[in-house]
Structure 1
Amino acid sequence: MGTWLRRVLLGGLLITQGAVQAAEVTFDDIQPILQARCVMCHAGEAAPLGLRLTRLDELLKGSKGRPVVNAGDPAGSELVRRLKGISQPRMPMTGPPFLSDAEIALFEDWIAGGLKAGRNPPDTPVAPAPLQRPAAGQPVTYAHVAPIFASRCVKCHSAYGLMGSAPEGLLLNSYAAILDRHERVRVVPGAAGASELVRRIRGQSQPQMPYDGPPFLSDEEIQLIVDWIDQGARDTNGQPAPSPVGARVRLQGVLGEGWTLDSLPLVVGPGTRIDKAPEVGDYVEVRGRWGQDGRVLVERIRRR
């Protein structure tokens, strides 16, 4: 073989090897996805099925039942099956939107390549992404508040939660579920003070949520949710939700002067059922419907 030909073949081999090496995926490549979409739930003692994703060595250890990644076998790895929705429930719980095809492909390539560690030691912690607020002049959307629901609420309020089925049937694992008004509305777009969800996380309605508190949500987290609702409970595209006029509401709080509930105006009429003679300052429960004028049309009010 001539010298020139050997150099060409050797050069081609080196280029091919370089391309393979450049394409190798390590834990460093998937760590930002875990940080943004996964460790909000999969961390600490309450991690679902004991699966913690806050460090590489924990991910490799897997869940209480079995490993979730099998080196060289993406199709047989439960992590990939969950990300694709082949196994249920699909992950992450905050979806939709779920991970993009490109993001899932990174996990597949990482597993196919042998679960390479990357630059950092396997016990280097992956911190949850910090709370994100919109840029100045931009509205709060579901994308900003979804991580709060995922990290503090979904562990119970999902179809496969720690308490079995979701308490009172309330699912908080998707935008559509949070805005659902079938049984009653928990979020009233444009009116955080009339939203049962807000009153629960503030402690105005009992028991205060999250149920595993204290610690409960921080003031910053609560304010972000309040801003999201007051600005129309916008979806990830910034589209505000329609007003749930006529939807049922159930609220608790302190009865104020002039038929108010913690300053929320109530409409009490001849058809309103009043039980246990509530007076100003009493803790009461109000059931009714959301009115077109931004007030609660009370069907029943009772002292608790």
Structure 2
Amino acid sequence: MTKGLFVLCSLLLAIGRAPAQPVNFDDIQPILQARCVMCHAGEAAPLGLRLTSLDELLKGSASRQVVRSGDPTGSELIRRLKGQSQPRMPMTGPPFLSDAEIALFEGWIAGGLLPGSRPASAIAPPAPLQRPAAGQPVTYSHVAPIFANRCVKCHSAYGLMGSAPEGLLLNSYAGILDRGERVRVVPGASSASELVRRIRGQSQPQMPYDGPPFLSDEEIQLIVDWIDQGARDADGRPAPSPVGARVRLQGILGAGWTLDSLQLVVGPGTRIDKSPGIGDYVEVRGRWGRDGQLLVERIRRR
């Protein structure tokens, strides 16, 4: 082997053995932003633990520091991410963080809590809305971040209010479309979807419960478009119509048996309580019909 070739081989071997770049806060902040700050931000952060900046993370909670430099196994953050301490985090799981994501946090702590390229006090801006490309439908992938950031902190199995209010889980596609007790999303009919009426304030209380601020007009419109286009899953498949499912809505009764803009089907068997009139705030209960109409079983003035 010539001397030049020997040197080249040695360099290549050295490169192959070169250690990976040390993990810094830039590497973990996107995970915190996507999975943690929906709960751990602002005045309502559990135990005062805010995870929107490096300074806040290093400060820890009202009771303890959650990361110990050089000691991943002794850091409460790692114990929570792995489920060694309960409740396991993030509260929106499952799914929880992947092994690779947890390993990033362990590497960051083991490497001495290195800062990133931004000031330690810098708070990451909220992620922009995800919209489909021109001519493409809205899918669950586009609206899931809205639910994760504004709704899942309560509407998950172990949310801030304990179990999910009224059993409504908003941390998965299947949970959002569940029709067990009643349907909240009627694919193809946003005006008949309780979820939309709640975020618009047509049904009370308006959601998210920690508002104001409530969802922006852009966020609401994206959810409306998703439902009206069939409440498609992440792969673009439309959801089936929930024929026969129970529906419960609130709103303003209009002329010709309408609820805001939604036409109601009222028949001889419909129960009408408390003499509701046009302009009254009412509650409507019924079932979703095969012809895409709300078959009303009961209307009552509230």
State the TM-score, normalizing by the size of structure 2. 0.86
Distance 1:180 1:203, change over 3 A: same
Task: Tell me, yes or no, if the aligned pair for 2:184 and 2:195 is still in contact at 8 Å.
Answer: yes
For 1:262, the equivalent position in structure 2 comes to 260
Residues 1:291 and 2:293 aligned together: no
Match for 1:222 among 220, 223, 226?
220
For 1:134, the equivalent position in structure 2 comes to 132
For 1:23, the equivalent position in structure 2 comes to 21
Comparing 258-267 with 29-38, greater Cα deviation is found at 29-38
For 2:59, the equivalent position in structure 1 comes to 61
For 1:109, the equivalent position in structure 2 comes to 107
Distance (Å, rounded) in 1 between the aligned partners of 2:152 and 2:87? 12
Distance 1:47 1:144, change over 3 A: farther
CA deviations 1:28-68 (Å, max 9, x no partner) are 11222223333333221122332211111211222334333
Comparing 240-249 with 167-176, greater Cα deviation is found at 167-176
Kindly report which structure 2 residues correspond to 1:167-182, keeping only aligned pairs within 5 A, or say none.
167-182=165-180
CA deviations 1:89-147 (Å, max 9, x no partner) are 55445555544443332222212222211333322222221222222222222222222
Find the residue that maps to 2:299 and give its secondary structure: strand
For 2:240, the equivalent position in structure 1 comes to 242
Match for 2:193 among 192, 195, 203?
195
For 2:117, the equivalent position in structure 1 comes to 119
Percent sequence identity is 83
Residues 1:77 and 2:75 aligned together: yes
Distance (Å, rounded) in 2 between the aligned partners of 1:36 and 1:221? 17
Aligned pair count reads 295
Q: Report the residue type matching 2:300 in the other structure.
A: R
Task: Tell me, yes or no, if the aligned pair for 1:93 and 1:173 is still in contact at 8 Å.
Answer: no
State the TM-score, normalizing by the size of structure 1. 0.85
Deviation at 1:16, TM superposition (A): 7.6
Distance 1:234 1:66, change over 3 A: farther
CA deviations 1:66-97 (Å, max 9, x no partner) are 33323333344343344445555554455555
Task: Tell me, yes or no, if the aligned pair for 1:26 and 1:115 is still in contact at 8 Å.
Answer: yes
Deviation at 1:244, TM superposition (A): 1.3
Q: Report the residue type matching 1:224 in the other structure.
A: L
Distance (Å, rounded) in 2 between the aligned partners of 1:97 and 1:55? 24
Distance 1:129 1:250, change over 3 A: same
Task: Tell me, yes or no, if the aligned pair for 1:254 and 1:284 is still in contact at 8 Å.
Answer: yes
Q: 5+ unaligned residues in a row in structure 1: which ranges?
A: none
Distance 1:46 1:273, change over 3 A: same
Comparing 204-213 with 70-79, greater Cα deviation is found at 70-79
Find the residue that maps to 2:18 and give its secondary structure: helix
Match for 1:144 among 142, 145, 149?
142
